[in-house]
Amino acid sequence: MRIVCIGGGPAGLYFGLLMKKLHPEHSISVVERNRPYDTFGWGVVFSDATMEAMRAWDPESAAEIEDAFNHWDDIELVFKGKKLRTTGHGFVGIGRKKLLNILQRRCEALDVELVFERDVNSDLEFPDADLIIASDGVNSKIRNRYVADFKPDLVVRPNRFIWLGTKKLFDAFTFDFQRTEHGWFQAHIYKFDAETSTFIIETTEETYLAHGLDKMDQDESIAFCEKTFADTLQGAPLLTNARHIRGSAWINFSRLICGQWSLFNGQSHVVLMGDAAHTAHFAIGSGTKLAIDDAIELTRQFQTHGHGKEHIPEVLKVYEEIRRVDVARIQNAARNAMEWFEVVGERYADTLEPEQFMYSMLTRSQRISHENLRLRDKTWLEGFEHWYAERAGLKGEDKKQRGNERGLPPIFTPFTVRGTTLPNRIVMSPMAMYSAKDGLINDFHLVHIGSRAMGGTGLVFAEMTCTSPDGRITPGCLGLWNEEQAAGWRRLADFVHHNSSAKIGIQIGHAGRKGSTKLAWDGIDQPLDSGNWPLYSASALPYLPNSQVPQAMTQEDMARIKADFVRSTELAATTGVDWLELHCAHGYLLSSFLSPLTNLRNDEYGGSHENRARYPLEVFKAMRAVWPKDKPISIRLSCTDWADGGNTSDDAVIFARLFKEAGADMIDCSTGQVVKEEAPVFGRMWQTPFSDRIRNEVGIGTIAVGAISDADQANSIISAGRADLCAVARPHLSDPAWTLHEAAKIGLTSIPWPKQYYSGKSQYETLLARAEPARTK
């Protein structure tokens, strides 16, 4: 084949040398606009997996690259007058110029043609090429020529950064956060050769403009940065190798995803590679990794399908299918890390203490978990656990596992709100059981809730408990509108308090337009065939096309239903439960007022955020007035509607502030279920970012929910300050003793079991210990 690689970065050079090595008959050229052996940029970071692959595919270049590597294990944080350090992280770095020079020499040794100082404007400049590799970077001229085919989604991110270097050497990957009168600057610093360190400085657009950096030239910008990071630089100057960039040299990162990666231009097949196809933020240092991995995978597919040009279409198809998966995974992690740095000032740096800030920074991509940190640096993590336990009010031996110096993991520390102290941070989410008659608690609920309380959970909720017969979702829902129902709750609360250390809560709500439906197993959200009751909502909009149409609430309706909420609250106060939650989520009655998709009112209860929240706040304030002052009330909130035109996390922040000002103690951060047309983005811990934002921007305690499946994930969430409590739902359905079992799985043997089950504790722990060697083989 005749192959032309447009762009002499890592992707084009490495693909060229691999293909020439494996099939010398190919005629391969790499065309680069810069001069020979000249490149821009400072150091780049490699992963162990990429290096292992390079050793397998071309040991010669891999050996030379490894000889030039700088390796470090430590991460150091400079923040609020402290220096904190942790080890075991295993990075390797190399100068970008050094890397490309190695690959250039290897290409020359294999007779790959290197063409320098040629600026390619079109793939049609190479009519004899069978395959054109468009590896010409994020601003690819080749990709931009075929926008309709490649469908690039290019988003310019808000932060500004400048990529500099220094001759001061750092023995750890250093993150330095400095606050100025206009906001925070952060530096990403790492050594990449025997003489030089990369020094990337980042800040928000607002801080960049407030300091007038947009009006400075490069020398003025560098002088500003040297002054800002003077304590870390200790007199060493900052250097630039980007004199070709006009102005201050501060740029924005562009996140790129392409809908298609290849096409046939009428004479040649064209395929995107490296930054021309996708980008990953420097916060996790994967841009070079993705480029090298692209080159390896495309080469692998030619090896599999054959090197003849007739195989090109199938090769490109499979290449894209395989690479999309890994690229999406890396981009998701990079996005998490990138977004952390974009909001780090207001959300974390202003509010968190250095120890917790360090933890949040280390786990920003959500790829590193609590137990993974223990494997990397046991000493540091256990020091953090002791620190966290002290902040939770534990002292001396209480902050350790009994008989063990190991710290108590954060989810097993107590949490106090008003006069209620939970024994740990795990909550069993309210989950509809559809098993009541006339709203009454029965033996099923006693066993269901009681067994989960005995299973170690810190706080147990029953399902949403409705304020009136016409407030139910289904005929099988719990209710609290009469004394007989309250008596059932007293029995349940007494059982929980006498047989476990758990606290128990009631979630009160009204189904609104989602009411009068069948039991879930008979047809979820489907209207009853008979025996329907009237529905009420903010506006007269049915939930499904075949759903009953609700009545838009009048002032009289609002007064009556608010009185129902107050009556339920007064009854709840007589039951001895410890916690109350008001359901303002999932498209139920109060949620229907908050969302612009379900609230089309033009009176004082519709329109602005304050108006849409007016009725839910009226209900909450009336409940708070009759609920005991020493007991908490949380608010269940849909923090996004997952639908165009609906509420987003920006709106959730506004509503959370309004509820906080009204006296709410916590926000239970759920999402969606407001409209059937929603398009949620699922994944592990998928709703935690909403809790994170509300907790750290609004300054109110939060409960994280959504695909939290083990203690490791929960510990990561609590430790990083992304939530104060973790609500676990479905895992509790399959394992009533989920909390006790998770404690045993992470080696925490000091958590007591119910005395009746104590003989099972040692057996369970022994079986886990026996299984561990086989599991880790």
Residues annotated catalytic, as ranges: 588
Are 427 and 458 contacting, i.e. CB atoms less than 8 angstroms apart? yes
Residue appearing with tokens 């709100």: 417
Angle between helices 483-499 and 555-573 (to 10 degrees): 40
Alpha carbon distance 407, 410 (integer Å): 9
Q: Which class for 158: exposed (0-12), middle (13-18), buried (19 or more C-beta within 10 A)?
A: middle
Fill in the amino acid letter for 712.
D
Buried b (16+ CB within 10 A) or exposed e, 654-691: bbbbbbbebebbbbbbbbbbbbeebeeeeeebebbbbb
Sign of CA dihedral 699, 703, 704, 705: negative
CB half-sphere exposure, 547, CA atoms < 13 A: 27
Residue 681: phi and psi, rounded to 5, are -110, 105
Alpha carbon distance 116, 655 (integer Å): 58
H-helix or E-strand containing 385?
helix 378-391
Tokens linked to 226: 């040297």
Residue 239: phi and psi, rounded to 5, are -120, 150
For the chain, the residue count is 777
Count of C-beta atoms within a 10 Å radius of residue 444? 11
Q: Is 274 left (phi over 0), alpha (psi -120 to 50) or beta?
A: left
Alpha carbon distance 237, 221 (integer Å): 12
Q: Which class for 551: exposed (0-12), middle (13-18), buried (19 or more C-beta within 10 A)?
A: middle
Alpha carbon distance 473, 482 (integer Å): 18
Taking alpha carbons only, the member of 174, 167, 179 closest to residue 207 is: 179
Alpha carbon distance 491, 489 (integer Å): 5
Which 8-state DSSP code applies to residue 348? I
What 57-65 contacts at long range (C-beta under 8 Å, 24+ apart), as own/partner pairs, is 57/18, 57/296, 57/299, 58/14, 58/17, 58/18, 58/21, 58/106, 60/106, 61/14, 61/17, 61/102, 61/103, 61/106, 64/102, 64/106, 65/94, 65/99, 65/102
CA separation, residue 21 to residues 17, 57, 295 (Å): 6, 10, 13
Residue appearing with tokens 């990337």: 200
Going by C-beta distance under 8 Å and a sequence separation of 6 or more, which residues neighbour residue 49?
none
Alpha carbon distance 497, 281 (integer Å): 50
Taking alpha carbons only, the member of 681, 669, 655 closest to residue 726 is: 669
Q: Give the strands of the sheet with 2-6, arranged side by side.
A: 113-115, 27-31, 2-6, 131-134, 269-272, 262-264
Taking alpha carbons only, the member of 664, 681, 680 closest to residue 672 is: 680
Q: Cα torsion at 484, 485, 490, 496 (round to 10°)? A: 140
Residue appearing with tokens 């821009």: 40
CA separation, residue 309 to residues 20, 132, 280, 313, 316 (Å): 15, 12, 31, 8, 11
Alpha carbon distance 529, 758 (integer Å): 49
